[in-house]
Amino acid sequence: MLQTNDIQHRFHLLEQAIGQAAQACSAEPYIPGELRDSIQRLDRQSDTAREVLLSQDQLRIHKLVREMERLAERARQVCINVPRLSAHMRSAVNYMHGQVMELKRDLRISS
C-alpha cells in the first residue's frame, strides 16, 4: 500500500483530471446525457473521496475506487461510441479514466 502522501498526490491528479473533464463537458456543444451524468457523478464522488481515502478503511476505499472506475469506463465508452464529440472532450475523458486506473493500480485494488 502506498504512503498517505503518495495516495494524496495520486488523488490530487485524479481530482484535476475530473475537473478537466467537467470543463470540457461544459464547453462541448453536444453532450450525451450518459456522459454528462458520469462526469457529474465522478465530480461529486471526488468531493467526498479524500475523506474515504484517508480513513484507511479498505472496504470503503475499494468500493469508492470501483465505483469511480465504473463511471470513468462508462464515460470512456460514450466517447468511443459517439463520433461527434471533440478531440478535447475525448482526451479529457481518456486522461480521467487513466487517472482512475492509476489510483486503482497504486492502491492494489483488483477488479
CA 8/CA 59 separation, integer angstroms: 18
CA 65/CA 53 separation, integer angstroms: 9
CA 19 to centroid of chain Cα atoms = 9
**Predicted TM-score of the model (pTM):** 0.90
Whole-number pLDDT of residue 111: 66
Q: Quick check: 13 and 98 in contact, CB under 8 A?
A: no
Q: At 1, is the pLDDT very low, low, confident or very high (cuts 50, 70, 90)?
A: very low
CATH of 4-107, one of 3.30.70, 1.20.120, 1.10.10, 1.25.40: 1.20.120
Phi then psi dihedrals of residue 82, to 5 deg: -115, 100
Q: Alpha-carbon dihedral of residues 45, 106, 66, 63, nearest 10 degrees?
A: -80
pLDDT tens for each residue of 5-54: 777 888 899 999 999 999 999 999 889 999 999 999 999 999 888 788 77
Cβ neighbours for 42, distance < 8 A, ≥ 6 positions apart: 18, 21, 68, 71, 72, 75, 96
- Domain residue extents for the chain: 4-107
